[in-house]
Each structure stands twice: as C-alpha cells, then as structure tokens.
Amino acid sequence: MAEAHQAVAFQFTVTPEGIDVRLSHQALTEIYLSGVRSWKKRLIRLKNSVITGVYPASPSSWLFVVIAILATMYTRSDPSMGLIAKIQEHLPVSQSMSSQCQALLSAVLFSTMLWLLLIFTMRLCLKQLLSYHRWIFEQHGKMSNTTKVWVALVRIFSGRKPLLYSYQGSLPNLPVPAIKDTVKRYLESVRSLMDDTQYERMTNLAAEFESSLGNRLQWYLKLKALWAANYVSDWWEEYVYLRGRSPIMVNSNYYGMDFLYVTPTPIQAARAGNSIHAFFLYRRKLNREEIKPSRIPGTVIPLCAAQCERIFSTTRTPGEETDSVQHWQDSDYVAVYHRGRYFRLWVYQAGRLLSPREIEFQIQRILDDPAPPAKGEAKLGALTAGDRIPWAKARAEYFSSGVNKRSLDCIEKAAFFVTLDDDEQGMMGDDPAASLDCYAKSLLHGKCYDRWFDKSFSVVYYKNGKNGINAEHSWADAPVLSHLWEYTLATDCFQLGYNAEGHCKGEVDSSLPRPQKLNWEIAPECEEQISQSLAVAQALADDVDFHVFAFRDFGKGKVKKCRVSPDAFIQMALQLAYYRDRRTFCLTYESSMTRLFREGRTETVRSCSNESCAFVQALEGGENENKSMRLFRSASEKHQLLYRMAMTGGGIDRHLFCLYVVSKYLGVESPFLKEVLSEPWRLSTSQTAVQQMELFDMVNHPEYVSCGGGFGPVADDGYGVAYSVLGEDVINFHISCKHSCPDTDAHKFGAQIRKALHDLLQLLSPYQKEPTRTEKTRPEVKKDL
C-alpha cells in the first residue's frame, strides 16, 4: 500500500517523550503542485469567461473606447452630450479629489457604459443575423444578393478568433411553430402510411385538437419559450432519456469504432497509453476553450457548443422515478476495469500530465496484476446494464456509505471509464464481415458487465490493439462525442505515434505509484441483484442482430455527379430497401440537429414522404425510367426540404412532444397527441458525418478511416440504421434489429440496401459504366507510425 502512504502528507506518533511528527515532502509537493494547477485552471476559466462575456468585442477594445473619449475631450468637444458632466455631479467622491481627476473618472465611467452598450448592440445584431435562415433553402451553388450581404455582415459582427463558447450568447432561441403548420405537416407525413378510413379519422382528431385544446397548450409553450433558452431540450433530456426505466444498454447507448483497415499497434497497453493521453489533451483544449466553434461545413454559421460542457467527469445516476445527470469538476484520473477488478489510474503526477509511455507503463501494471476480484466485484457493472429501478434501489441500499460508496464515487467522478478487454476484435479471420458484426456487438453491450454504461463515455481497448467507444446518450448527441473521437484517433496515430517495437514514445518514471485497486464489500443480497440485472441485460444483448459493412462500390463522388444530395440518395435507397424487405412503408426517423439555436439538440426528419412512396411504387411497379427518375428527383428534393425545415425549427415531432408534455402537466387528455406519440418508428436512421476532415488525409491514406458507429433498434419489429459517408468512395452502414422478430434480418436488409444503392445509381446514370470491382474485404494492416 505504498501509494496510500504517499497520499498522507504527515504522520504523527505519540511517544513517552512527546509527539513525533514526520512530514512527507513528496506528498506535500504533490498537494502544492495540485493546488497550483487548480488555480491556473481557475484563472484560465476566469479569463475565458471575460473574453466570452464581452464577445464579439474584445477586452482590449475597452481601452480603445476610453482613449477615444479622452482624446475627444482633449480637443474641447463633448462626445457624451453632457452625460459626463452629469456623472461628475453625482460621483460619491472625496472633496480632496481634484476636478480634473473627477472629470477623468467620469469619462472612464462613461466610456465603460458606452463600451457595454456597443457590446450589447453588436450581440443583438449578431443574434438577429443568425436568425436568418433563408440561405439554407437556396439552391446549392447559387447565392442571392441578400444572402451575400448577410454573410458579409455575419463576418463583420463575428469578431476575430472566437473561443469555443463565444457564440453562445448570440445564438437565437428555438422558435415555436404555429399549431396549424405543425398539424398540417403531420397529416401530410402520414398520408401515405394510412388508408382512407384511418386518415379521415386522424384528420378529424387533428382538427378537433387544433380548434380547442391545442391553442391552450400552445400558449403555455410560448410562455416557456420566452423564459427558457430552449423550450425543448430540458424536457427532451428528462422525459425521453432520464425517465426511461428500461436498460440503457442497447436501448439508448451507442458506439463508435476504430480505424477499419489499420491497427496502429498490436500492443494493448500502448494503444491505451496514446489514446488516453490524447483524450486529456482534448480536455485541456476544452477547458481553455481553444477548440474552434463548430460550424455548418462550408459556412460561417456557428453551432451551439453547450453539450461540450459535460463530456468529461459526467455520470448518469439512477433513481426510482427518474435518473439524473451529474457533472463534476475535472478529475485527474480514469477508472479502469480488467478481469473483474476496478482500478483508479492517476494520469497526473506532480501537476503534469503523464506521457503516453508512462500511461502505457501503468496500464501494463494493471494487465500484469494477479490479484483476483473481490467477492461480487467481477460482474458489478451489470447493475448499469439492467433495468433502472433495481439499480437505483441497490445503489441506495448497498452503495450509499462505507467502502462501497468511496469506490462507486471513484468510478462516477472519473474523467471517463476504461475497459481492458481480453478479446480480440476488428476486421480479421476467415470471415472478416462476420468479425465486424461481432465487433459492433462487443462495443454496444460487451459481456453486459465489463462496461460502465452510466458514464458519459467508456473506452474499450482490445487485446490486439483495437479500440472503440461506448457512450451514454442523455447528456449529448453523437456529433459531440464524434468530434472528440476523431481528435483522439488522429492524435494517437499522426501526432503521438509509436516506436519500432509498437510501444509509446518517451521515457518512463519507474517511481510512479501503482494504480489503486478499488475495494468492495458486496452483500449476498446485492450479488443476487447483480445476477438478476445480468440476466435481463444478457437476454437483451443476445436478441440483438447486427450487420456492419463498408459499401465501396461507389460513394458520394458519383452521387454528386448525378446532381443529388448524398443524404437524400441514401434515404431513398433505405425506403426502397425497406419496401422490398417488408412490402410496405413505415414511419421513418432520421435525426437532424437543431444546434443553429441555443441549447439545440435534435429534430426528426420524416423521411418516408408521399413523394418517396410514389417513387418507390413507380420503380417497383415497372414504370418507365423517365417517370421514375422524375419522381425520384421530386422525392429527394422533398427530403432536402424536410431536412432544412427540421434544422431551422420547422420540424414536427419536437413541437408535438412538448405539447404532449404540457398536456400531462395540466392533467388533460388529447386523443390526437396520444396517438401521435404512440406511433412506432420501425426504421430509425442517423448519419454520422466526419467533422474534422483536416485531421485525416483521405487521398494519400484512405486506410486511416473510422468505420463510424451505430446504435440498437428503436422498435422491437424495426431496424436501426447508422451510416457515414467517408471521402468520395465509401459509405459505411451499421444495421441493427432483433432476432426475436421473425420479420427482421440485419444481413438480409443489408443486402437489400446494397441492391437499392446500385439500382438508384443505374436509374440516375444509365449510360455510365458501373464499377466492375466487387466489394472485397481489405486485409487488416498493422502499421507503426
């Protein structure tokens, strides 16, 4: 227990001669350096708060305004039109102060007020400018004169070198759509999914709602929109995520994969050393707000960065009625799981971040540690994988005091969670395609007890050097974590690198204290609850069917030559594939972001439209190519319109959801809202875009590309489809469904998607020669960088 003794700053012993006090200079040094580092972080946060608070101006502009006012006063003119004199009259100053000093102080006060007024005006102007969204509806490549002027004004009012959170105070609030518009769009979205009798009934319910209860609920919603920064996000987090009582594993959490064709090193500890170091480098940039604000690609339009605040040191805590998200100040350690044991791994020593080689050394110590897990410890993580109520009760009863509370606090307050997995994953073996499916399932649920599903994110390092990430969904959406994951992968390979033997670069301080093994006292009754939670989680995990594949026959390059949006092209292919698979259409969910607005999260794009159904029916009905092509163009344009409306606050589902929440608060029933909110999403889709293309060289190093990520099926009888468009020639798909449903099959649906993609390209470019190469699995490559 050397590390425990080192943590004590002094020891004393009572002897007959008196009290013998012994100071630990190493511990005192650690305390001093930790305090210095903490104060540095506070000063940086204070500085950034000032810079962000006065944005789009700068703190130095205050001095410029003061000098300008004083200069005009020196020329015997009064720029304040008498206000400086008025301020001087009412100054509560000593009579000993000369009139010149009083005039100077009054001028400084006036200058400061003028400066603050200018900041407020500039911020208000920027907020109004960012509320303009007509640019997004203009035809690609054609910009109106109004939009050109608008872009110039946005650049002027945006200031120079904004920090990560600089735009937060200037982002507009999410608008509340009109009831009649939402109802009209909803009815249009379900027309092709209902027969005439069903549609007439729904129309009558909608008309009754719009003319009576709807206006009352809308009034309360508008009141909330005036008061809150975002009228959707807090209710969305609470009621969609935190109040769910079923397991979050598979049902809510999602995952991200490593490079598909490259493993930078086959050494597990080395891979962990580099990437853990890269995670903390990202956190340092995050704390200093040095990360550039995210923008819509190719534009100057900023996106909300509020979700970035809870990336690290965040945990979802279970409750009997509702869970809660807890965020702590930065932790200097990570929690590590290996072979049933939990460890605390400090990543800072003497106030500095450990080097990758030192973290590798510490990880290897954990891998080599022969200590067995404590009684009940090995499968403790299953509590986070099962139903939420049993976990909440077990937490309150068995983890609210003593050694169990201290160890649980260590996990929950860690920067993030790390699993050292004994399995090997990735594209490998005689059946690489099947190995990708296993890889996806491992990241999504693992063994159901070797991940801590409540942490904001958990990183998994496999025995062969592969890694991956599993994320809890309530605190943020996938693009936020994807930004972190891209940075980590790129920093790991292209900046930190490995030596010729595959180890991290640098030297090791062998005097580093060993990682601390956490202690537990698990009662037999708690072990029983762990077993029950594991049984629930295992049944859920075994039911998940997954299929992951990289579509390499063509990509967005060829699609764009056909003058079609790649996203619309893929969504139409999914509609065609689903119809061929089930011979019917279904309510389709595509995730769109609303981060153009303050604290915005997501909105639903209802991809199954009247136009898409008409196109699919024409193509499958044998209509001529010209008509099918015309209907496809109409369907893809409608999809683009729906996507743009969702991004700019004109979506359907979040508005209806909030109206439903208000109705529950008021204790009134709405047959219309109840039916709308109960409709299942049998096809749930999401695109994961690469946000930091500058970090990757897709031309010279196309093998360094992540396979994206995925999620579990939303409906028991439906599919979950995540896709990522990489470079010009690759589209990755992650398809999930459930074995228990006889009507779904992930591999069969994947084959339908491949065929639909080829058929659509053939329809749009019948005279273009299709690539002759078939989809071949590229061999796994291990490289030393």
In this structure, what token pair is assigned to residue 140?
Answer: 């690609």
Range list of β-strands (E), 217-321: 254-257, 262-263, 314-317
Q: If you count them, how many residues does the chain have?
A: 785
Compute the C-alpha angle 694/699/700, nearest 5°: 100
Picking from 208, 189, 209, 210, the residue whose alpha carbon sits closest to that of residue 199 is 189
Using CA atoms, how far residue 20 sits from 7, 16, 65, in Å, is 19, 10, 63
Give yes or no: 473 in active site. yes
Give the closest residue to 597 by CA, choosing from 221, 173, 301: 173
State phi, psi for 143 to the nearest 5 degrees: -115, 130
CB 202 within 8 A of CB 190: yes
Angle formed by the axes of helices 478-490 and 268-287, to 10°?
A: 120
| Helix, strand, or coil (residue 721) | strand
User: Are 467 and 278 a contacting pair, CB within 8 Å?
Assistant: no
What does the alpha-carbon distance between residue 566 and residue 764 come to, in Å, rounded to a whole number?
13
Task: Locate all alpha helices (DSSP H) within 131-212, ordered by sequence.
Answer: 145-157, 179-190, 196-211
Residue 452 contacts residue 337 (beta carbons within 8 Å): yes
Write down the catalytic residue from 277, 338, 473, 547: 473
Enumerate residues 6+ apart whose C-beta is below 8 A from 234: 228
Q: Exposed, middle or buried, 608 (CB in 10 Å: 0-12/13-18/19+)? A: buried
Whether residue 448 contacts residue 544, with contact meaning beta carbons closer than 8 Å, is answered with no
Query: Which positions ≥6 away from 505 have C-beta within 8 Å?
Result: 356, 357, 496, 497, 498, 499
What does the H/E/C string look like for 764-785? HCCCCCCCCCCCCCCCCEECCC
> What residues form DSSP beta bridges with 314?
327
781 with 263: CB under 8 angstroms?
A: yes
Q: Which residue has the tokens 């608070």?
A: 53
The C-alpha atoms of residue 630 and residue 619 are separated, in whole angstroms, by 11
Residue 369 · residue 337 · CB < 8 Å = no
User: How many Å apart are CA 27 and CA 350, to the nearest integer?
Assistant: 10
Q: What is the dihedral of CA 242, 246, 248, 251, to 10 degrees?
A: -110
User: Distance between CA atoms of 348 and 283, rounded to whole angstroms?
Assistant: 13
Contact assessment for residue 379 and residue 535, using Cβ atoms and an 8 Å cutoff: no
Calculate the alpha carbon distances from 350 to 23, 24, 326 in Å.
Answer: 17, 14, 28
Give how far Cα 196 sits from Cα of 181, 551, 568, Å. 22, 39, 28
Alpha carbon 621 to its chain's center: 41
Query: Around 497, how many Cα atoms within 13 Å sit in the side-chain half-sphere?
Result: 7
- Tokens 């196309």 belong to residue: 702
Strand partners, 19: 14
Q: Which two tokens stand for residue 133?
A: 């969204």
Q: Which amino acid makes up residue 565?
A: S
Q: What residues are labeled active site? A: 473
